[in-house]
Amino acid sequence: MKIELSLLPYEDKTILYNLIQLYRYDSSEFDGHALNNHGFYLYKYFDHQWTDEYRRPFIVKVDGEIAGFALVSLDVPTEYMKLSSAEVTNVISDFFIMRKYRRKGVGKEVALLLFEQFHGTWEIRQTLSNKNAYEFWRNVIKEYKSDGTFQEEMIQNSRWNGPVFVFQTQRT
């Protein structure tokens, strides 16, 4: 199984838009997203993926077939300073692997590729009620940081309500 992670060019933004529809449908039971009057899920920062310098929209392919996406923000001001002394952090804003490729190591491989490509402090947040996503990220980070050097805390404030993982990546 060949897993590819590449930046999605603006010209192909319709691909991401369509995948976001699947992602929002899939996660609506946890986050309460609702369809608009036209039958679509909105994504407030969709066009920002190509206009904000710190955002990176990645497409995931498995054996040449579209398998998901990862929306990453790099070097953004740290939101939860009590968890990290870093001034900036990398954040996985949204992460989606098609059901066909789940539990086959695709999501884990994509996460590891991102951690290795972008070094520094990472902040991974999860919706409180999405237990499967929480377990996925906890296991991936625990394996990646096998020495146990990651932090996990429950945040409940006006900006976030749920678990947050914080850890460092560095060149090997």
The span from the CA of 5 to the CA of 95, in Å, is: 12
pLDDT in tens, 147-169: 889 999 888 887 788 899 999 99
The span from the CA of 21 to the CA of 11, in Å, is: 18
Task: Say how many domains are in the chain.
Answer: 1
pLDDT in tens, 80-135: 545 566 788 999 999 999 999 999 999 999 999 999 999 999 999 998 889 999 99
CATH number of the domain residue 116 falls in: 3.40.630.30
- Domain assignment of residue 75, given as a range: 3-169
pTM assigned to the model:
0.91
Q: Is residue 138 within 8 Å of 165, Cβ to Cβ?
A: yes
The span from the CA of 38 to the CA of 92, in Å, is: 28
Sequence-ordered alpha helix ranges (H) in the chain: 13-31, 48-51, 106-117, 131-144
pLDDT in tens, 45-86: 999 999 999 999 999 999 999 999 999 999 987 765 455 667
Give which of 14, 2, 169 is closest to 92, Cα–Cα: 169
